[in-house]
């Protein structure tokens, strides 16, 4: 569904400035942007609140959290998808790339079982039925340190409209988990392992990487091309790893773990995406580089909510305070992620763009999402 209407008396965050004015919507598209505080009859009066483009989320684990709300508790997929969809709408997200892991470890009972194909089918069915509030696309997280990656990816095709494939390698001792002490703390706490079980777990993952890693990486790259999807790297740590990413044609780096990697990404023309929780907490929970440090160095391009959906808008406003530039900060959660995945029809308040917009007030330094519109329809 689309809607016509006027959103008036707003502080409109344009790509390069903030303007008091109104946005006129026609058939789900931004038809006009008019300066001034006039509120025409029938318009929605923003009363000076901000009018932003809808947020574009490229990497979120939030759906998996709804699928397993407690350890070993599996929730019905449709109910999980609908809850996830509603939560993101309330957080100001209007386009999301739902991250689904492909690549399982079938030989270890209870760990990393296959789910992506069934979940994607249910997601697509709900989307086609008009049951979802916001725009959902698919993001396949291709885990090369696994047993079943290529078989799982073979179950997907171009008709699934996969927009993003990220190359994931969670082999212990490198990338995100270079610090083995932090890895042990995380894994043993999450899976209730003892010390011997953790040692066996690490040995198993390293063996999987040795046996399947290179073939899985090459196969994931080929499948991304088959899908017509954007290819992203994940947790690059060294300039050498970034150079390898660039050789694959990668233009988006998810969560580089060091300044060295982030700088190398920019040297190769690769956009750097960091987690909003990293910004808000002031550092990485894995002990990796601070997103704030990269922001100060001009090496942060895109934010992802990662595992806290409302963190996306909060982190953008934190960056605005740091930079003294709200439009620049808003671009990290709107125009920049949209551009990275080729969605040039959204992410900006501009004539001819999709009328995916949000209303944001503030309480002190905290942004409050007061309304979300998709194709001009308040959801």
pLDDT for 203 equals 67
pLDDT for 264 equals 98
Contact of 327 with 17, CB cutoff 8 Å:
yes
Reading the block at residue 183, the tokens are 């890895």
Domain with CATH 2.30.40.10 in the chain: 1-54+346-379
CA distance 379 to 312: 19
1-54+346-379: in CATH 2.30.40.10: yes
* pLDDT over 50 (residue 281): yes
CATH of 55-174+203-343, one of 3.30.420.40, 3.30.2290.10, 3.40.50.10070, 3.20.20.140: 3.20.20.140
| Residue burial 49-71, b: 16+ Cβ < 10 Å; e: rest | bbbbbbbbbbbbbbbbbbbeeee
The model's pLDDT over 24-82, given as tens digits with 9 standing for 90+, comes to 999 999 999 999 999 999 999 999 999 999 999 999 999 999 999 987 889 999 999 99
pLDDT for 294 equals 97
Contact of 256 with 268, CB cutoff 8 Å:
no
The model's pLDDT over 189-244, given as tens digits with 9 standing for 90+, comes to 566 666 666 666 666 676 677 777 788 999 999 999 999 999 999 999 999 999 99
Contact of 179 with 287, CB cutoff 8 Å:
yes
Reading the block at residue 112, the tokens are 């990393």
Domain with CATH 3.20.20.140 in the chain: 55-174+203-343
| pLDDT range class, residue 110, cuts 50, 70, 90 | very low
Give me the chain's average pLDDT, please: 91
* pLDDT over 50 (residue 354): yes
């Amino acid at each position: 569904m689309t809607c016509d209407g006027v959103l008036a008396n707003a502080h409109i965050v344009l790509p390069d400035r903030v303007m008091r004015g109104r946005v006129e919507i026609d058939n789900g598209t931004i038809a006009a942007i008019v300066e001034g505080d006039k509120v025409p009859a029938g318009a929605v009066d923003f009363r000076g609140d901000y009018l932003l483009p809808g947020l574009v989320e490229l990497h979120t684990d939030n759906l998996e959290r709804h699928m397993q709300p407690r350890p070993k508790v599996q929730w019905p997929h449709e109910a999980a998808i609908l809850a996830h969809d509603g939560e993101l709408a309330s957080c100001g997200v209007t386009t999301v790339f739902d991250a689904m892991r492909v690549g399982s470890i079938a030989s270890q009972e209870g760990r990393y079982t296959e789910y992506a194909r069934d979940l994607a089918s249910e997601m697509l069915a709900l989307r086609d039925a008009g049951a979802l509030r916001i725009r959902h696309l698919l993001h396949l997280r291709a885990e090369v340190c696994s047993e079943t990656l290529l078989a799982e990816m073979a179950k997907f095709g171009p008709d699934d409209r996969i927009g993003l494939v990220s190359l994931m390698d969670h082999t212990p001792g490198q990338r995100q988990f270079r610090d083995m002490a932090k890895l042990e703390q995380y894994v043993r706490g999450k899976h209730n392992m003892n010390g011997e079980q953790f040692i066996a777990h690490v040995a198993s993952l390293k063996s999987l990487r040795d046996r399947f890693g290179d073939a899985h990486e090459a196969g994931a790259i080929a499948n991304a091309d088959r899908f017509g999807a954007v290819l992203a790297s994940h947790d690059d740590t060294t300039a050498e790893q970034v150079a390898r990413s660039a050789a694959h044609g990668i233009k988006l780096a998810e969560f580089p773990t060091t300044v060295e990697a982030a700088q190398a990404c920019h040297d190769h023309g690769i956009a750097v995406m960091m987690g909003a929780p990293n910004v808000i907490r002031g550092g990485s929970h894995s002990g990796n580089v601070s997103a704030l440090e990269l922001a100060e160095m001009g090496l942060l391009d895109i934010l992802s909510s990662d595992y806290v959906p409302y963190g996306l808008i909060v982190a953008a406003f934190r960056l605005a305070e740091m930079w003294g530039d709200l439009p620049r900060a808003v671009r990290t959660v709107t125009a920049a992620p949209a551009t990275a995945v080729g969605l040039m029809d959204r992410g900006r308040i501009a004539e001819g763009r999709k009328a995916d917009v949000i209303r944001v007030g503030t309480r002190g330094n905290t942004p409050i999402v007061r309304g979300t519109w998709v194709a001009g329809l308040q959801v």
